[in-house]
Structure 1
Amino acid sequence: MTRSLRVAALAALLALAGCASPDVATYATEKPTLLPEQYFNGRVDAWGMFTDRSGKVVKRFVVTIDGRWSGDEGVLAEDFTYADGTKQQRTWRIRKLGDGRYVGRADDVVGDAQGEARGNALHWTYTLALPVDGRTWNVEMDDWMYLMDDHVLLNRTAMSKFGVRLGEVTISFRKRP
């Protein structure tokens, strides 16, 4: 193998390593403990924004979530209102699998969303069918939620396509008492 090919291979490996997410087990001892079936049972309000890869805020929104859990099955009805006045709805159907693992589905999610909760963190990965300029893009969502206290949950989601970072979604959730 030529020297330049070895250098290119090493650079590619380092670039891929830089895209990797931390392991959710890193947060196993963090408190308070996030149990999605408890936090998302009832009404939750949220405020968020999408920033493009340069950091420019492209969209702002508010969300009202009505979560209902029965045993290991949950339904989260999300009502989005964007700053430009447009509205969107998404309904998640989530199942607790045990050992901190969850699986979820929504109409605009391609296949199953896979989730794992440890300590104060929840990590979701899924493919979102995102309408953009009259076309639909399937984008990869790397979604991290962190419970700050009994009422506040912070969320950061990296969005990518073909491994290229498109931007980030940041959301602050507040559970109603």
Structure 2
Amino acid sequence: MKLVKSFLIILIAILLISCSSSSKLQAYKNSEPKLDLQEYFTGPIKAWGIVQDRSGKVIRRFDVSMIGSWQGNVGTLKEDFIYYDGETQQRTWTITKIDNKQYLASASDILGDAEATVEGNAMRWVYEMDLPVSDTTYRIKFDDWMFLMNDGVLINRSYLKKFGFTVAELTLFMQKQ
């Protein structure tokens, strides 16, 4: 009986958490300017970012050059990262529009599909990846929240989670060129 109660409590907690994130996104339904993912991720974009550990200390800084293109409902977003410590990295996303609010995306270093939902000026993008740190690799869940601002600026707040706990945060400022 104890096991059944524990299972039910965990199940209810998971349902509440998933409903909570969905309802949080709904809060932006009428927010302007409206985010059109295909429009925003077409052409060149410049970005600047930081990664903070769980204490808030900035542990990495980086610049990103992106270029996006679409053919019908399938888009490609190429990212070139230059970290301030000299490391470089590339990632190419393939983004598929499911409907006006739902997208699926994949990249070679992403586990499975990334799922994105857009409401008003906001988008939530959730995915997992194996993140190398020093000599170890950690499976991390990314919970990205993007907010379209005026003048072609998109702010991305990403919460990096392990076992449901935020272990780092990433902040990225993007601007269409």
* Residue in structure 2 matched with residue 75 of structure 1 by the alignment: 76
- Aligned to 2:27, the other structure's residue is in SS state helix
Give structure 1 regions of 4+ aligned residues with deviation exceeding 3 angstroms.
Answer: none
User: Are the counterparts in 2 of residues 32 and 150 from structure 1 also a CA contact under 8 Å?
Assistant: no
Using the TM superposition, give the Cα deviation of residue 116 of structure 1 relative to its aligned residue in structure 2, in angstroms: 0.3
Alpha-carbon distance in structure 2 between the residues aligned to 1:92 and 1:137: 21
Residue deviations 1:118-151 (CA, integer Å, cap 9, x gap): 1000100000221112332110000000000141
Q: CA deviation at 1:23?
A: 2.5
Q: CA RMSD in A?
A: 2.3
String of CA shifts for 1:43-96, please: whole Å, max 9, x gaps. 000000000000000000000001011111000000000001110000000000
Aligned residue pairs, count:
167
2:64 matches 1:63: yes
State percent identity of aligned pairs.
43
Distance in 2 between the 1:86 and 1:172 partners? 20
Tell me the amino acid that sits aligned with residue 90 of structure 1.
R
- The answer for the alignment partner of 1:6 in structure 2 is none
CA distance, structure 2, for counterparts of residue 62 and residue 28 of structure 1: 30
Q: How does 1:109-120 map onto structure 2 within 5 Å?
A: 109-120=110-121
Q: 1:137 aligns to what?
A: 138
Give the TM-score of the pair, scaled to structure 2: 0.87
TM-score, L = length of structure 1: 0.87
Instruction: Please tell me whether residue 173 in structure 1 is matched to residue 174 in structure 2.
Output: yes
Q: Is 2:102 the partner of 1:101?
A: yes
Q: Alpha carbons of 1:42 and 1:60: their partners in 2 closer, same or farther (altered >3 Å)?
A: same
